[in-house]
Structure 1
Amino acid sequence: MVNVGMVQIEAERVAARTKKMLREDGIRATSSFFALQAWEHATLPLLRRRRADERFSYDGADLRYDYSFYGQTWRNERTIEIAIARHFLADAPGRILEVGNVLSHYGMRGHDVLDRYERGLPGVLNEDVLTFNPDSRYDTIVSISTLEHVRCDEEEKDPRGSTKALRNLRRLLAPGGRMLVTVPIDWHPGLDEDIAAGRFTLGRDTFYRRDSRYDWSRTDRDEALENRYGSPYEAANALLVTTTH
């Protein structure tokens, strides 16, 4: 069954991207890009069948790649992030907080969501992650490709914003709680510097590199940091997944 809400959201994303590309790249480049997009959407069921047996490793498990219509996960790092989030939350204890409203688009709902900018949505707390201070702590915290934007894409600038956000979230974690955070490599220099220095970490780091358009494998920190965002493949070409022990 088609999820009408997800189709509407994706249509709005496409419309916004179309306007931006027409303004910046012109009609020919925009037309070619969306012709390819239309073909990929039409053939997505074939891609799912063709790659049904493909896996990547995380936390001792072999996980299926995610191929979702929303966010076109087969084109970017979401293909492993969503799979990892499902695995992590499968047995998540107690009270759950998500930072950044991502997982609801992939069927994972029923938890608190902290998102400063997505207003008017039920259950979404529009507060700043740097100063968020709830009355009680959370047993599980998860954030998918969100902390790299803190004080980088916002009006207020701070090269250490992502790391300060991570520090505040650790404070909000209940004793014995679990946290998972993912961020792309090469999004902004301040975050990469903190990753290289071991300042942006929850204690257990897993790095991934993109081996092809669809395939990802584990790598080490130094090799991950050599990758560039948007090259040679669209979006992230390396990813950090950090968790508590």
Structure 2
Amino acid sequence: MVSVGVVRVEATRVWNRANTMIRDDGMGRTVGFLAGQAWEHATLPLLRRDRADARFPFDGAELPYEYSWYGQTWRNERTVEIAIARHFLATGTTGRMLEVGNVLHHYGIRGHEVLDRYERAVPGVISEDVIAFDPATRYDTIVSVSTLEHVRCDEDEKDPRGSTKALENLRRLLAPGGRMLVTVPVDWNAGLDADLASGRFALDRGTFYRRTSRFDWAVTEPEQALAMRYGTPYEAANALFVTTTP
């Protein structure tokens, strides 16, 4: 069952994009976009049915893709990321958990602390800088879904190594024996891409994925992933890095 809040958020997202398209691309393309959006939302139950057996690999398991109204996950990397986050959290002890970036509650995963510098109006969210964040106690679980690529890239302060500095601080905040999952898209942040290529942005284990069709993702070599471009040939990320500890 889709909540009224999710419908409202998605309607606002589509409306804002349509307004931008009217200005940049004209009415004809905008009408086509809106018709396509209406069709995709109406046929989402059919997509779920037709792809019920589709899987992708992660950490020795074969996971089903996430097809959610919120964020239109069938159109982007969330289809893999949310599925991985669900599996990661279900296969270990969570304990005290920190999420960096306010993402998971939109997909029904709640009850943990959230650190998000720019969500100041959201009750319960810690609005602090992830690089400088230094709580009194450490976390048993840390998760970040497509958030660290924005650190010192989309902000006023610029630092090509901002994402890696954030990752290093999060590793420091992990309690002994703790677990961490971090995902980032390829080709969003040039400094991050350089650190991905050199291996500086990584925890104990890392896996690159690339998009092989509109809906499918596969494990790939770093060189192949880093050659992919954001936004082409498919919408949003076309390659993704997933790293975990231990």
Superposition deviation, residue 183 in structure 1: 0.3
Letter in 2 for 1:235: A
Map of 1:104 onto structure 2:
105
Superposition deviation, residue 96 in structure 1: 0.4
Query: Normalising by the residue count of structure 2, what TM-score does the alignment of the two structures yield?
Result: 0.97
CA distance, structure 2, for counterparts of residue 51 and residue 37 of structure 1: 19
Map of 2:123 onto structure 1:
122
* Residues 184-223 of structure 1: pairs in structure 2 closer than 5 A: 184-223=185-224
Query: Normalising by the residue count of structure 1, what TM-score does the alignment of the two structures yield?
Result: 0.97
For 1:191-221, what per-residue CA distance to the aligned partner results, in whole angstroms no more than 9, with x for missing partners? 0000001100012001101000001110111
Letter in 2 for 1:34: L
Map of 1:153 onto structure 2:
154
Q: Which runs of 5+ in 1 are unaligned?
A: none
Q: Say which SS state the counterpart of residue 45 (structure 2) adopts.
A: helix
CA distance, structure 1, for counterparts of residue 141 and residue 70 of structure 2: 25
Superposition deviation, residue 20 in structure 1: 2.1
Instruction: Give the aligned CA root-mean-square deviation in angstroms.
Output: 1.0
CA distance, structure 2, for counterparts of residue 7 and residue 135 of structure 1: 39
CA distance, structure 2, for counterparts of residue 214 and residue 172 of structure 1: 35
* Residues 48-197 of structure 1: pairs in structure 2 closer than 5 A: 48-90=48-90, 91-197=92-198
Q: How many residues align?
A: 245
Q: Say which SS state the counterpart of residue 134 (structure 1) adopts.
A: coil
CA contact (8 A) 2:2 2:69 kept: no
For 1:175-199, what per-residue CA distance to the aligned partner results, in whole angstroms no more than 9, with x for missing partners? 1101000000111211000000110
CA contact (8 A) 2:206 2:244 kept: yes
For 1:48-83, what per-residue CA distance to the aligned partner results, in whole angstroms no more than 9, with x for missing partners? 000001111101111000000010000111001000
Calculate percent identity across the aligned residue pairs: 72
Map of 1:11 onto structure 2:
11
Letter in 2 for 1:132: F
